[in-house]
Amino acid sequence: MDNFLPWLCLKHVPGIGNHLFKRLLEHFGSPQRVFQMTPQALLAVDGISNHLASAILNFKVPPWIRAELDHVYQKGYQLITLSDSSYPLLLKELPDPPPLLYVSGDLGVAQKNIAVVGSRNATAYGISATQKLCADLAAFDITIVSGMALGIDTAAHQGALAGKGNTVAVLGSGFHKIYPAENRPLFERITEAGAVISEFALDTEPEGHNFPIRNRIISGMSMGTIVVEASRKSGSLITARLAAEQNREVFAVPGSIHSFKSTGTHTLIKQGAKLVENAQDVLEELTVFMEHVTALVKPEDNDTNAAETKTLLAPEEMALYKTLSPYPEHIDTLVRKTNIEPGKLLSLLLQLELKGVAQQMPGKFFVIKEKS
């Protein structure tokens, strides 16, 4: 755990925020090297003043930080840093990503994340719609990200779990201060089937100013944000705004025109958010973004698998196989990408299915079939 000590120390130097932390990391390579620099070297970094340089070089490790690391180890939590391969790739693209995240569970390498947020005082319709939508998205190997609040957030996590999929909860408090307290059992369930994460120290209280900070992680690690049941003054609209500022997709599930709890979502639709009735509405919008996420992932060395596949396929089949990806693509998208007539394309896809290298998902979506 000593490897994380410089990370926690630099994070808690007074005056060092996430922007400046990332700048120092890019300049020197690691927090440990930052503490080894001369004042002149630190002053060469934009934003570092004489006062901040002195604060860094004179920082003394407070006892609570060592105790924090001991608690992380004893509880079986993880810390992942900006330098770790398991750090969410899209979150890393933000100008102010959290330098490190506390993780309970297994964050894995899932990068196909969709945020789902909404009212804490949700209606039966909102809860039902959210659970169904998230269960369906989970069937497409989409990870549902939400904030573990009551109402829509809870329904989103429950839907993903019911769909046997992955879900990530992002807290606005530390792991020792689960909020709301009644969601402690949900915390445990998510930890078993996915991950709960926080950028806050273990004993951080769920104070109001933490939640907008938390919201930027929810939207920042996701390809898009779906809003369900939000009034005009809902905090969920903050997450939607952050998603738009982060160049992520914004979706909204319509509600009753007579319900004030849907006025915010209807406003988002009027402003250009994608209206969502089912999982396909979401997937159709994310094809380009999924390609971007795929490009961020370092390819595995799969020469052997490629050679095996090549011997199975005819030239036309091989060309089509190379067009597919692990992410679902609709038949219409494949027609545009390949310029193959729909009837022939379906025939070729069927051959790929029969040879065990492709799979059709519900709604005429197709993916590469991963080897078991």
Percentages (nearest 5) of helix, strand, coil residues in the chain: 50, 15, 35
Q: What is the pLDDT of residues 60-99, one digit of tens each?
A: 999 999 999 999 999 999 999 999 988 998 999 898 999 9
Question: Span 181-210, mean pLDDT?
Answer: 95
Q: Looking at residue 161, what is its pLDDT?
A: 96
Q: What is the pLDDT of residues 8-52, one digit of tens each?
A: 999 999 999 999 999 999 999 999 999 999 999 999 999 999 999
Average pLDDT of every residue of the chain:
88
Residue 119 has pLDDT above 70, yes or no: yes
pLDDT tier at 362, thresholds 50, 70, 90: confident
Question: Span 168-185, mean pLDDT?
Answer: 96
First to last CA, the chain: 34
Q: Looking at residue 347, what is its pLDDT?
A: 81
DSSP, residue by residue, 44-91: TSTT--HHHHHHHHT----HHHHHHHHHHHHHT-EEEETTSTTS-HHH
Quote the CA–CA distance of 349 and 278 in Å, as a whole number. 25
DSSP, residue by residue, 305-353: HHHHHHHH--HHHHHHHHH--SS-EEHHHHHHHH---HHHHHHHHHHHH
CA atoms within 13 A on the CB side of 201: 14
Q: What angle do CA 120, 124, 130 make, to 5 degrees?
A: 70
Quote the CA–CA distance of 47 and 15 in Å, as a whole number. 10
Question: Span 89-114, mean pLDDT?
Answer: 89
312 near 355, Cβ under 8 Å? yes
> For residues 309 and 168, which has the higher predicted lDDT (pLDDT)?
168
Question: Span 139-164, mean pLDDT?
Answer: 95
Residue 366 DSSP SS3: strand
Q: What is the pLDDT of residues 318-357, one digit of tens each?
A: 888 888 887 788 888 899 889 898 888 888 888 888 777 8
Q: Looking at residue 351, what is its pLDDT?
A: 80
Question: Span 363-368, mean pLDDT?
Answer: 83
92 near 69, Cβ under 8 Å? no
Residue 117, both tokens: 């947020």
pLDDT tier at 233, thresholds 50, 70, 90: confident
291 near 320, Cβ under 8 Å? no
Q: Looking at residue 250, what is its pLDDT?
A: 93
Percent residues over pLDDT 70 in the chain: 91
Question: Span 280-292, mean pLDDT?
Answer: 75
Residue 209, both tokens: 């100013």
Q: What is the pLDDT of residues 303-312, one digit of tens each?
A: 444 444 444 5
